[in-house]
Amino acid sequence: QVQLQESGPGLVMPSQTLSLTCTVSGGSISSATYSWSWIRQPAGKGLEWIGRIYASGSTNYNPSLKSRVTISVDTSKNQFSLKLSSVTAADTAVYYCTRGCVNCDYWGQGTLVTVSS
């Protein structure tokens, strides 16, 4: 059974960089079949796709966030990571890592990141 777990700071200062890591267990992140995505959800609001990566390192990003987002992968640790720069209060949300892109069949439990001074 594939499991994903997000980790990282729960509080980030405005203008700083949000950094999260997703650790995958029960399956290899190196499989060429799947991509790995980050999705976020502000409290009481809908889902927003941030971007995805393949084990090869190939990425695609949400155009509205592209200038601030970097997603990377570490196949040796079976992990992939998210960096979101120049954060503001509008970036406060629960961040999920998932397997897949449009068809996200496995999700992490989500981690709340609050942007505040």
Binding residues for other proteins, rule: CB under 8 A, are 37, 46-49, 52, 60-63, 96, 100-105, 107-110
Eight-class DSSP state of 15 = T
CB of 117 to other proteins, least distance (A): 27
Residue nearer to other proteins on the CB measure, 32 or 102? 102
Shortest approach of other proteins to residue 98 CB, angstroms? 8
Alpha-carbon dihedral angle through residues 79, 73, 82, 99, given to the nearest 10 degrees: -60
Name the residue nearer to other proteins (CB basis): 88 or 105. 105
Residue 42 C-beta: closest distance to other proteins, Å? 12
Write the secondary structure of 25-90 as one string of H (helix), E (strand) and C (coil).
Answer: ECCCCCCCCCCEEEEEECCCCCCEEEEEECCCCCEEECCCCCCCEEEEEECCCCEEEEEECCCCHH
Contact 116, 106 (CB under 8 A): no
CB 41, min distance to other proteins, A: 9
> Among residues 4 and 29, whose Cβ is nearest to other proteins?
4
Q: State which residue, 16 or 101, has the beta carbon closest to other proteins.
A: 101
